[in-house]
Structure 1
Amino acid sequence: MLSQKEALRRKFAQADFTDDVMFGLIMSQPEICKRFLQAVLPAYDFDHIKVTPQKYLKTSYVTRAGRLDLLCTNENGTQFNVELQMVDEHNLAKRSRYYHALLANNMLAPGEDYQNLKETYVIFLCGFDPFGLGWAVTDYQMTANHGNHILGDGTHTLVLNAKGDWREVNDELKGIFQLVLKQRATYGHLGLEIARNIKDFKESKAGGGKYMALAGEFWQNVWEDAREEERKEIVPLFVQKLAKDGKSQTEIMTYLETELGLSEDEAQEYYQLAMTKA
């Protein structure tokens, strides 16, 4: 069985734009992030944008699915959360609701007026058509059942569907879609630049270390910081992630026992719980 370090090295060697860790590392580069958001929301001004560092996301924006992939804020305080979704878990709408709540929860101090809440955009970049509608770009907002009145609560959910109809999609976003579909980027300039960035990152001396630190330390840090009742939620999520990464039951059980210090019975209990929730 591969050690954790060997497994991470193999994951790094195979990583492309659709790898969650690589996606976060590359997209968190301010210029890349800015150009991506500009392609998605051309009416917005992204000249002044702040990207939240990955190391902060793993401590302050921990979700039931792990850390946020990418979070940035413009000069008006509007927040943009970009999530790469390669597997259809049939829960995109509920994920959107949860992410918006998470952003809002970290936006206000206790007792602060709700009017100070800024707009939030949750942007799902999907390698599948989540609702079978064929639309490449869809902006969801809360509206009334009668008429077209928009509630105006400041929440926007954008679904970018790489499997959708590209005819009205700009070239920069088409290039991104090509990367999501594991194709060579031939449209626009951004997709090609991202592909070059990934290649350079993987060939750099520091690239492997940064990747493995972010991939390997996240769950360990969350585990160490969690209270006992929180660990009951965290371990099944961790097991599900390992299973999605192709790890066998034996490999997962061994990791739980050696890295998290669980007994064989505890590891078995958590594994069965995670498989029930999956």
Structure 2
Amino acid sequence: MLSEAEKERRWQAAGLENDTIFGLVMGRKDICKLFLRSAIPDVVFTDLEVTPQKEIVNHYHSKAVRLDVLAVDEQGNHYDVEIQVKNEHNVPQRSKFYHSMMTNRMVGQGENYQKVKATYVIFVCMFNVNTEEALSHFEMINRNNLNEKLNDGTHTILLNVNADSSKLNENLQGLVQVLKRESVNQSQLGQELSKALKEVKGDMLVKNQLGYASEDMVLYGQQDVIQSLIENKDKLGLSENSIIEIIMEKIHLTKSEAEELYDEMLEDLEKQKQN
């Protein structure tokens, strides 16, 4: 069992990248509206129904999914906003599954497919995804004519926190700064996120309900850095113990936690080589 001191340390270390905290902050309607309008400026809506930590189960045999933030506009379009901390190398597959889960809940038995509205899956990634852009928007297109879209309303958007954010609009830059724990610009979204984060972290009821961030391993988007150190440790003249010490210092983990994380990263690298 965790000591009170350890619980407090974990709670103080947790930030917006913690999925539960992210849901509580991004799940505030005004913040969610501002984020969506910043990430998808061509989308037009006046109001949203926003639900943080929304669980969707479409069939008792199927895999359930808990969305960090689910928003539905007045036209019935669905928006899923997710924070992704650990790279499990399944972003495309996870996106496909989330789209299907949201689509399935739109249409009942015997209803017309015209009831199917647009679905947006937005992943805020604390690791490097397979794109050089800070913000990437994917749709279904015709491979024989790349200018022709299917217009099925399926949109996947990736916000790469580790990429060059200089081309992002001011609001999205503010989000990145909050996630990376940097000085936050004067953008409306950056300021609102900072304020809401302080309120959530200062709420004793939330603090107790979350169990001081529970057992979460908060990587702060440094997974790729750690993996690179492990992969190149011989070239860099680093030992396993020295990398574990770096992990302890940079991510504020205990030695046993850092050792466990090191083993996880090493296992991930070996799997990547096999693939």
- Please, which of 140, 143, 150 is the counterpart of residue 142 of structure 1? 140
Structure 1: 5+ residue runs without aligned partners?
217-244, 250-276
* Structure 1 residue 136, shift from structure 2 partner: 1.1
Q: How does 1:227-238 map to 2 (within 5 A)?
A: none
Find out whether 1:199 has 2:190 as its counterpart: no
Coordinate RMSD, CA, aligned: 3.3
Over 3 Å counting, the alpha-carbon distance change for 1:90 and 1:53 in structure 2 is closer
Compute the displacement of 1:195 (Å).
1.7
One-letter amino acid of the structure 2 residue matched with residue 106 of structure 1? R
CA 1:93 to 1:185, structure 2 compared with 1: closer, same or farther past 3 Å? same
Q: Report the equivalent of 2:172.
A: 173
Matched residue type, 2:171: E
Structure 2 Cα separation of the partners of residues 215 and 110 of structure 1: 40
**Structure 1 residue 59, shift from structure 2 partner:** 6.0
Separation of aligned partners in 2, 1:163 and 1:81: 21
Task: Normalising by structure 1, report the TM-score.
Answer: 0.69
Distance 1:99 1:155 in 2: 11
Question: Which is worse superposed, 202-211 or 163-172?
Answer: 202-211
Pair 1:108 & 2:107 matched:
yes
Are residues 1:58 and 2:55 paired? yes
Give the partner amino acid of 1:2: L
State the secondary structure of the residue aligned to 2:142.
Answer: coil
Q: Tell me the equivalent position of 2:158.
A: 159
**1:48 and 1:61, CA in 2 relative to 1: closer, same or farther beyond 3 A?**
farther
AA aligned opposite 2:37: Q
- The corresponding residue for 1:13 is 12
Q: Residue deviations 1:212-256, cap 9 Å, x none?
A: 49979xxxxxxxxxxxxxxxxxxxxxxxxxxxx99979xxxxxxx
| CA 164–61 in structure 1, closer or farther in 2 if over 3 Å, else same | farther
Q: CA deviation at 1:193?
A: 2.1
Q: What do the CA deviations read for 1:99-156 (whole angstroms, capped 9, x no partner)?
A: 101111111112222221010000011122210x310111111112201221122100
**What is the match of residue 224 of structure 1?**
none
Residue of structure 2 equivalent to 1:117: 116
Q: Which residue of 1 aligns with 2:75?
A: 76
Q: Distance in 2 between matches of 1:247 and 1:109?
A: 52
Counterpart residue identity of residue 145, structure 2: G
In the superposition, relative to structure 1, how do residues 164 and 102 fare at CA in structure 2: closer, same or farther (>3 Å)? same
The aligned length equals: 220
Corresponding position of 2:188: 189
TM-score (norm: length of structure 2): 0.69
SS of residue paired to 2:151: coil
* Greater percentage in strand: 2
The share of aligned pairs that are identical, in percent, is: 34
Kindly indicate whether the alpha-carbon contact (under 8 Å) linking 2:10 and 2:213 is maintained by their aligned counterparts in 1: no
Pair 1:129–1:65, CA change in 2 (3 A): farther
Matched-pair contact (CA < 8 Å) for 1:174–1:187: no
- Structure 2 counterpart of 1:206, which letter? L
Partner of 2:96: 97
* Equivalent position of 1:240 in the other structure: none
Measure, in 2, the Cα distance between the counterparts of 1:168 and 1:192.
Answer: 19
Listed one character per residue, the Cα deviations across residues 12-57 of structure 1 (whole Å, up to 9, x for unaligned) are 3322111111001111111111111111112223431110243xx1
2: CA distance between counterparts of 1:38 and 1:201?
A: 23
CA distance in 2, matches of 1:52, 1:130: 27
**Contact 1:171–1:188 at 8 Å: present in 2 too?**
yes
